[in-house]
Amino acid sequence: MTRLSLHSGSSIPQIGFGTYATHDPADAVVRAIEAGYRHLDTAQMYGNEAEVGGGVRRSGIERSELFVTTKLNNGNHDPKTAVESFSTSLEALGMEYVDLFLIHWPLPQSTETHYVTTWKTLIDLYESGRARAIGVSNFEPEHLERIIDATGVVPDVNQIEVHPYFSNDHVRQYCRELGIVVEAWSPLGRGDEFTDPALVQIAEGLGVSSAQVILRWHIQRGDVVIPKSDSVERMQQNLGVLGFELSPAQMTAVSALDKGEEGRRGAHPKTFTG
């Protein structure tokens, strides 16, 4: 498993297991770890941190072998509340630390607590050692610029929406210039991309699935991906993308599917209010 270096000095496995909306998070985590995953992604918003932690304990794996991410919920941006909710997350996970803690959304329209203040709180959590690395999610370049200018601390990761129909290259390029690792949420879109003729043609030529082509595209672009599945077979197939490569022409063909803003499936970070 390739690992990407972070500003904090740690490294993140390039393929992780997403736990959002999984049917049985604890069981899914056990099966994912058995399949070979060592990177687990959860969030306060998902309401499954306790189940994710329970799955880790059931698996019997050493905590030091895992990279665990969780994220600050949108209602917890106030510094005191952020610290308290972070402690609650650790308690729910049954862990003394997380490998990565993210601000889930910037909420730039909020008049309660600005994301710059929230970022300063995450820096304190990093300095405490309870968050081994810190980052953000759904941050646009202007949001990143503000927190970096205010604190001098560059996020380790920016977890953003990226898939072939929405390549989000403007944000990706900005992050690359600052050495911020890009982590793609919804890396497979909503599944409707699987039947795209361009992807089907590439998949058939390689003897793999369209989903595997998409994940391989992400990997070769240097992003972290966190696909999710309740199926052990799919979990294994997702890890199977490490076993083949896309040619430059195939990479170009997948990238050409980008629809710009029309392809965005989630909310826009500039207007999302939580």
CA nearest neighbour of 47 among 83, 80, 71: 71
CA nearest neighbour of 148 among 121, 183, 120, 176: 120
Q: How far is Cα 253 from Cα 217, in angstroms, rounded to an integer?
A: 10
End-to-end CA distance of the chain: 34
Amino acid identity of residue 261, one-letter, is: E
CA nearest neighbour of 33 among 5, 47, 13: 13
Options 37, 46, 115, 165, the catalytic residue:
46
Phi and psi at 45, nearest 5°, equal -60, -30
Asked if residues 150 and 119 have their Cβ atoms less than 8 Å apart, the reply is yes
Q: Which residue pairs, CB below 8 angstroms and at least 24 apart, start in 56-61? A: 56/29, 56/93, 56/94, 56/95, 57/94, 58/26, 58/29, 58/30, 59/29, 59/30, 59/33, 59/34, 61/33
Q: Has 104 been labeled as part of a binding site? A: yes
Q: Please report the DSSP string for 136-179 in residue order.
A: EES--HHHHHHHHHHHS---SEEEEE-BTTB--HHHHHHHHHHT
Amino acid identity of residue 156, one-letter, is: D
Is 46 noted as a catalytic residue in this protein?
A: yes
Please report, in range form, the residues annotated as the binding site: 104
Binding-site positions for substrate: 104
Catalytic sites, residue numbers: 46
